[in-house]
């Protein structure tokens, strides 16, 4: 079941991981081994959490990589569903072949 308008995983990362630890973007990026620009882009919802980033986050925050990937997939799918009517797709079935 799809969540209604799920938040970008970067928003969750900011609110549940960085803010409680009073981490700056610079400090968190350094700990994760990524650039400040990359982390800022994730936190601001401009880029996706990659599988590698999910593993980094799981190590840093004692979570699972799967949980980060699930959040990203839910977000991506909800966004795609918002454009369903714009897709030019023909329904296929064995009866139409």
The per-residue pLDDT for range 36-92, each reduced to its tens digit, is: 999 999 999 999 999 999 999 999 999 999 999 999 999 999 999 999 999 999 999
Residue 14's domain comprises: 9-76
Number of domains in the chain: 1
Report which of 75, 80, 78 is spatially closest to residue 10, judged by C-alpha positions.
75
**CATH classification of the domain holding 65:** 1.10.260.40
Residue 13 lies in a domain: yes
Residue 97 lies in a domain: no
Residue 30 lies in a domain: yes
Residue 33 lies in a domain: yes
C-beta of residue 43 within 8 angstroms of C-beta of residue 25: yes
pLDDT-based confidence at residue 96 (cuts at 50, 70, 90): low
pLDDT-based confidence at residue 2 (cuts at 50, 70, 90): low
Residue 62 lies in a domain: yes
Residue 91 lies in a domain: no
Which pTM does this prediction carry? Answer: 0.88
Residue 27 lies in a domain: yes
pLDDT-based confidence at residue 4 (cuts at 50, 70, 90): confident
């Amino acid at each position: 079941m799809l969540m209604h308008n799920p938040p970008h995983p970067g928003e969750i990362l900011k609110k549940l991981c960085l803010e409680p630890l009073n981490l700056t973007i610079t400090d968190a990026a350094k700990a994760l081994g990524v650039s400040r620009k990359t982390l800022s882009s994730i936190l601001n919802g401009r880029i996706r959490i990659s599988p590698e980033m999910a593993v980094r986050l799981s190590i840093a925050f004692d979570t699972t990589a799967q949980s980060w990937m699930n959040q990203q997939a839910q977000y991506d799918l909800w966004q795609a569903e918002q454009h369903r009517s714009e897709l030019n797709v023909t329904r296929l079935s064995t009866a139409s072949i």
